[in-house]
Chain A
């Protein structure tokens, strides 16, 4: 009899955590941020209302990732819960974070300064957060928070991909043209470091001006801006996506334009035709509960990063024992966790700075020209770790 009771207790012991396993995701947004929730269209617009950058909330991508994972999670006895948290940036963050379920993954769809505050606060509370929006290098380096993960590529990963591509093509002499903002200056430095890493040379770094005043013609006329020296390609840094659009087809020498215009490095692209990508793109466009999107619509890099964060967890729970509680922080921290990214090479978390390692796409407006790492750029351990700050160079050494 006592043995029967013991067996029963054991059964209950094993059964209860299985039934209680819930994967909770909370999308955190800024209540004051003007983003087009209704139209779900481009929200960053230049003069005269012409859309130059696409910025959409990530909820569609997160919901898609949960939808894709439903059959597997159901098989494993895991239920999911998707919530949202709209933060008021002027009041204290910590009490607001407590409104989100305690074990939930916080997907931070926030402007940079607020994201940094929230991530720092969440780290203090021991809560897992994902940066899906900001590629800034310092978040992975100087900030270096143990519970903050980055599924969006870093600028260094984007530019390393571009640098490999240029060197692989034999275009080694690069003219860098950059915008006037602090962000442009910082990104131009990152680009320069990437180009040098792979043996390209920066012939000059020139700053453009949006002003049409004749005194500025050396800075505002592309022919002058790109004249007077020899180069194989022009790399444009224009974080606002404004002036840079006019550099293509206007350079003094007939050379390709890369960077923020022309050939761009990206985490995702609508025209990737291998690795199952067309199926993912179609699933995103036709996803129920959301408006049908047109044939060229695809996840932005930010949406793809949000999708990848949820998929990383869903793809990694299958190997967990059924009696182990579902802890998103330990799953994200586990070097064995991995995700099928539909880019030909699986992704996993770099243990030193919590960055998702992944291939980077090099695409024009209507085609994926190459998928980095480029051939012959080899890393001793991880195929994609020639992209981004590698462990020996990183000032962040988390694990």
Chain B
């Protein structure tokens, strides 16, 4: 709608606002689930950030991945060395996969039912069969593996090793090593965008982008929010919107989340959040971004379209990961 005349514009805007207020928006029962490493529990919220439930869970719950049904979450219980499957509706553990040492980050390949788990402290990642709970493969990594990712077709598995400054690439069928990508300091999280692999280098203060056809570095995104020196920029989570047009990056010690144009790789907006943001999730409609603040034990909810924070809500102690279910 193009609007030229100012009073008319105002009138139209007014009517739109009245309509928006009068018509109750469709009830969106999105369930926000937050794993709290230190308090060992899950926080449940609605999309407005109001806590609806707190459930005691296990020792140091960290990485989470949505089950194929959309009703359950796989959750890494690091100190209990296991992965659990948690039914979000019934609020209960439906199964346990034991003997997963130092389970940290998770990625699920929905169509094959395979779950990749990094084993922090054990220099490996496990491929679990979620239908049987069995171990399909154990993949050697560098020290302190964290972020894991799987290509959509399941053909390639990626694991970042924080200490080794490497991303290991494995064949998703044969589980044979394909390549090792040399990254900046302390690679943390991985995000795939077509043939691009985005890697956050927490101590290198940048996001590096690798071309997965050539395994060469194709570019990087560096950050400069106001009032911070370069060493304070410690990016962790990377998340793309559904269209893969925007990348959201949590900047850790720099207390900001950044919106990046994924195509041009240019910074669009820095948004001040809580202390040491790292975990990120989008509501299924893409309207709200949830940012976990690890040092201030809260979550900042951001209006993605307006690029502004709406609300900050308390979480448990040291919130680690957030998933949002429809």
A72-B182, A75-B166, A75-B180 as given contacts; A346 in contact with B231, CB under 8 Å: yes
A residues less than 8 Å from B204 (CB atoms): 338, 346
Bitwise interface map of A from 248 to 284 toward B, beta carbon under 8 Å scored 1, else 0: 0000000000000000000000000000100100110
Bitwise interface map of B from 137 to 153 toward A, beta carbon under 8 Å scored 1, else 0: 00001111000000000
A residues less than 8 Å from B144 (CB atoms): 276, 279
Partner of A346, one of B161, B162, B182, B203: B203
The minimal Cβ–Cβ distance linking B158 to chain A, given in whole angstroms, is 15
B residues less than 8 Å from A318 (CB atoms): 165, 182-183
The minimal Cβ–Cβ distance linking A148 to chain B, given in whole angstroms, is 24
A residues less than 8 Å from B234 (CB atoms): 344
B231 near A72 with CB under 8 A, answer: no
Q: Quick check: which of A4-12, A123-131, A211-219, A377-385 contacts chain B, the rest being far away? A: A377-385
Bitwise interface map of B from 227 to 239 toward A, beta carbon under 8 Å scored 1, else 0: 0011110100000
Bitwise interface map of A from 332 to 351 toward B, beta carbon under 8 Å scored 1, else 0: 00000011100011100000
A282-B121, A340-B203 as given contacts; A71 in contact with B231, CB under 8 Å: no
The minimal Cβ–Cβ distance linking B256 to chain A, given in whole angstroms, is 15
CB-nearest residue of chain B to A343: B203
CB-nearest residue of chain A to B146: A276
The minimal Cβ–Cβ distance linking A368 to chain B, given in whole angstroms, is 14
A residues less than 8 Å from B229 (CB atoms): 379, 381-383
The minimal Cβ–Cβ distance linking B212 to chain A, given in whole angstroms, is 17
Given the complex of chains A and B, what is the CA–CA distance between A68 and B204 in angstroms? 18
The count of residues in chain A whose C-beta lies closer than 8 Å to any C-beta of chain B is 23
A279-B120, A282-B121, A340-B185 as given contacts; A71 in contact with B142, CB under 8 Å: yes
**Is A86 an interface position by the 8 A CB rule?**
no
A276 near B185 with CB under 8 A, answer: no
**A window 364-399: CB within 8 A of B:** 379, 381-384
A residues less than 8 Å from B182 (CB atoms): 72, 75-76, 318
A residues less than 8 Å from B141 (CB atoms): 71
**Is B62 an interface position by the 8 A CB rule?**
no
Partner of A315, one of B142, B161, B165: B165
A residues less than 8 Å from B166 (CB atoms): 71-72, 75
The minimal Cβ–Cβ distance linking B51 to chain A, given in whole angstroms, is 25
Given the complex of chains A and B, what is the CA–CA distance between A338 and B204 in angstroms? 8
B143 near A71 with CB under 8 A, answer: yes
The minimal Cβ–Cβ distance linking A362 to chain B, given in whole angstroms, is 17
Given the complex of chains A and B, what is the CA–CA distance between A332 and B52 in angstroms? 54
Bitwise interface map of B from 163 to 205 toward A, beta carbon under 8 Å scored 1, else 0: 1111000000000000010110110000000000000000111
B231 near A340 with CB under 8 A, answer: no
Given the complex of chains A and B, what is the CA–CA distance between A340 and B164 in angstroms? 10
Bitwise interface map of B from 210 to 222 toward A, beta carbon under 8 Å scored 1, else 0: 0000000000000
The minimal Cβ–Cβ distance linking B201 to chain A, given in whole angstroms, is 10
A residues less than 8 Å from B142 (CB atoms): 71-72
Partner of B162, one of A76, A276, A283, A338: A276
**Is B66 an interface position by the 8 A CB rule?**
no
A382 near B185 with CB under 8 A, answer: no
Partner of B232, one of A276, A338, A340, A383: A383
CB-nearest residue of chain A to B141: A71
B203 near A383 with CB under 8 A, answer: no
A residues less than 8 Å from B165 (CB atoms): 72, 315, 318, 340
A345 near B186 with CB under 8 A, answer: no
CB-nearest residue of chain B to A359: B231
**Is B119 an interface position by the 8 A CB rule?**
no
CB-nearest residue of chain B to A339: B185
A residues less than 8 Å from B35 (CB atoms): none
Given the complex of chains A and B, what is the CA–CA distance between A69 and B142 in angstroms? 9
Chain A CB within 10 A, most for which of B142, B144, B164, B183: B164
**Is B118 an interface position by the 8 A CB rule?**
no
Partner of B185, one of A338, A344, A384: A338
Given the complex of chains A and B, what is the CA–CA distance between A346 and B143 in angstroms? 18
The minimal Cβ–Cβ distance linking B166 to chain A, given in whole angstroms, is 6
**Is B312 an interface position by the 8 A CB rule?**
no
Measured CB to CB, the residues of A under 8 A from B are 68-69, 71-72, 75-76, 276, 279, 282-283, 315, 318, 338-340, 344-346, 379, 381-384
- Cross-chain pairs A/B with CB under 8 angstroms, 14 sampled: A68-B164, A69-B164, A71-B142, A71-B166, A72-B142, A72-B164, A279-B120, A338-B203, A345-B232, A346-B185, A346-B203, A346-B231, A381-B229, A382-B231
Measured CB to CB, the residues of B under 8 A from A are 120-121, 123, 141-144, 161-166, 180, 182-183, 185-186, 203-205, 229-232, 234, 253
Q: Which 8 A-B pairs have the closest CB atoms?
A: A383-B229, A71-B142, A340-B203, A346-B203, A383-B231, A318-B182, A71-B164, A75-B180
